[in-house]
Chain A
């Protein structure tokens, strides 16, 4: 009876995860979908706490229950308050942080289960796999988190890091296989494995440049899913298994979709030399000729006022300056004047795919006005003014015409086809990828320097006066 109830709860949880993820596929149903997944999760957790001990005939002392509830309470309070307070611009690092927590949980489970399962090679292989993957995911996510919030700015590369990492991965696999094969009972081995996996996680993410970080987070996300699935195998737990595998496969697909959007292969991200080669290439080979033309807020306002069609290209700089709301005001003002205004959204605008959509949704921008790159790229030619706000690499023509550029081949927004281009930037500093942008030296381009929020506010004021 109780076994059946628990099985049903786990079944409901699995269905909740599948239906929830499916419903995330449309803006209308997404919120409910997330809610269904959360209900599924709650059922699975409650069932495990209250029904499982009866089935397994465990006599769990009250204080252990107390510990479990206290832990859940502490975790909920911290998780809830972080999630409620965080700014939308910080979303990628938050996902990375939570992902690391999941990885750490998987790793700790492995550490504790080791002693109970010596001699069971099938169970031990699940434990070792979950421990290694969970630890890599934890350490890697923490490094990705530190990189995204600016604590760790530059890619750090040890000499011959590719060979070093590959060797370390090999050692990890060999040690893992040895522990299972030789039925090792000495806990020193499992702690060594844990430590090596952590080091590998750090070394794996350290050399990867900031621009590639979303791909790494997505990859580590599917790693944690995999680690959870190994836990599912270990305990014969269907909720863990389905949830873990779902995230593992979905995360892998998402990773591939992201690398495609950035025109990078996964191996290029992991083993490549993005940050390394680019700083050299950016300064030496692409010494850009020409002068820049500066424009004030009134020039920009006049240019916009007499346009028929305007496309706005928002980038991360917009979000940093918290200028989404002013930008929305500007867009509404122009629309009222009968000007056709759209937003061009590059797949990796912001810090991860879809991030810019979230940021603009926060400012109440209608999502019908947001147009994807493929759909808008041939519209630039008949556009009067393109307003680039805090975007850089995603509008860099070097992706088309400079084979020596590290972003060569990456799909970009073809803003240089428009009749006029206004670029709002704080300074001439290169973007996240650390490379120069010849767009700024284009005779059609006017540079509107200044913080996005104050610059746009001035443009709005000027426009109102016209």
Chain B
């Protein structure tokens, strides 16, 4: 129990951010027209690729002799990049077609 309280105390700022971000997310998405739902889903999909930062952090901290660890980290960075780059590029491609017509 004390551990739980400590956790709250140490992370209180992050907990605030989580709660505020939940509302920000709801507010932003609530007003997006259905026309843009597909690019929105794909754009949001690219943003959660931010998990790649975790994969990079793991690599930076990894013991250089831990070959298995490095290999898994290597794969994780590739997959994370796929998510980020692919997501943003394909969203851009879709939105390019929404250009106003003459």
Residues of A within 8 A of B (CB): 13, 17-18, 20-22, 24-28, 30-31, 33-35, 37-38, 41, 44-45, 48-49, 52-53, 56, 58, 60-61, 63-64, 67-68, 70-72, 74-76, 78-80, 82-84, 86, 88, 91-92, 94-95, 98-99, 101-102, 104-106, 108-109, 111-113, 116, 121-122, 134, 217-218, 221, 224-225, 227-229, 231-251, 253-254, 257-258, 261, 345, 347, 350, 352-355, 357-358, 361-362, 364, 366-367, 370, 372
Chain A residues, Cβ within 8 Å of B11: 122, 233
24 contacts between A and B (CB under 8 A): A27-B36, A27-B95, A28-B100, A30-B36, A30-B39, A30-B98, A34-B92, A41-B46, A45-B52, A76-B81, A99-B83, A108-B72, A108-B75, A122-B6, A225-B44, A228-B50, A241-B21, A245-B17, A248-B48, A253-B29, A347-B34, A350-B38, A354-B41, A361-B97
Report which of B25, B26, B79 forms a contact with A247, defined as CB distance below 8 A: B25
**Are B92 and A31 closer than 8 Å at their CB atoms?**
yes
Given contacts A27-B98, A98-B83, A111-B72, contact A354 B37 (CB under 8 A): yes
How near does chain A come to B82, taking the closest CB pair, in angstroms? 4
> Could you tell me which residues of chain B, from 6 to 54, have a CB within 8 Å of some CB in chain A?
6-7, 10-11, 14, 17-18, 21-26, 28-54
**Are A243 and B48 closer than 8 Å at their CB atoms?**
yes
How near does chain B come to A441, taking the closest CB pair, in angstroms? 31
Report which of B28, B38, B55 forms a contact with A109, defined as CB distance below 8 A: B55
Q: How many angstroms from the CA of A160 to the CA of B13 in the assembled complex?
A: 44
How near does chain B come to A104, taking the closest CB pair, in angstroms? 5
How near does chain A come to B80, taking the closest CB pair, in angstroms? 4
Chain B residues, Cβ within 8 Å of A27: 35-36, 95, 98, 100
Chain A residues, Cβ within 8 Å of B57: 48, 52, 235, 237
**Are A250 and B98 closer than 8 Å at their CB atoms?**
no
**Are B45 and A244 closer than 8 Å at their CB atoms?**
no
Chain A residues, Cβ within 8 Å of B85: 75-76, 79-80, 83
Chain B residues, Cβ within 8 Å of A246: 21, 24-25, 28, 44, 47
Residue of A nearest to B18 (CB): A245
How near does chain B come to A346, taking the closest CB pair, in angstroms? 10
Report which of B41, B48, B51, B82 forms a contact with A352, defined as CB distance below 8 A: B41
Q: Mark B43-87, 1 if CB is under 8 A from A, else 0.
A: 111111111111111111110100001101111111111111111
Chain A residues, Cβ within 8 Å of B70: 64, 67
**Are B47 and A41 closer than 8 Å at their CB atoms?**
yes
Chain B residues, Cβ within 8 Å of A61: 64
Which 10 pairs of residues, A with B, have the shortest CB-CB distance? Answer: A75-B81, A249-B25, A79-B86, A354-B37, A79-B85, A71-B77, A243-B50, A83-B89, A354-B38, A353-B37
Given contacts A84-B89, A229-B18, contact A72 B81 (CB under 8 A): yes
Report which of A49, A68, A224, A364 forms a contact with B51, defined as CB distance below 8 A: A224
How near does chain B come to A201, taking the closest CB pair, in angstroms? 15
Report which of A58, A67, A357, A367 forms a contact with B74, defined as CB distance below 8 A: A67
Chain B residues, Cβ within 8 Å of A91: 38, 42, 90, 94
**Are B86 and A254 closer than 8 Å at their CB atoms?**
no
Residue of B nearest to A221 (CB): B45
Chain A residues, Cβ within 8 Å of B34: 257, 261, 345, 347, 353-354, 357, 372
Chain A residues, Cβ within 8 Å of B60: 48-49, 52-53, 56, 58, 60, 64, 68
Given contacts A37-B46, A48-B56, contact A367 B77 (CB under 8 A): no
Report which of A75, A112, A235, A236 forms a contact with B80, defined as CB distance below 8 A: A75
Residue of B nearest to A225 (CB): B48
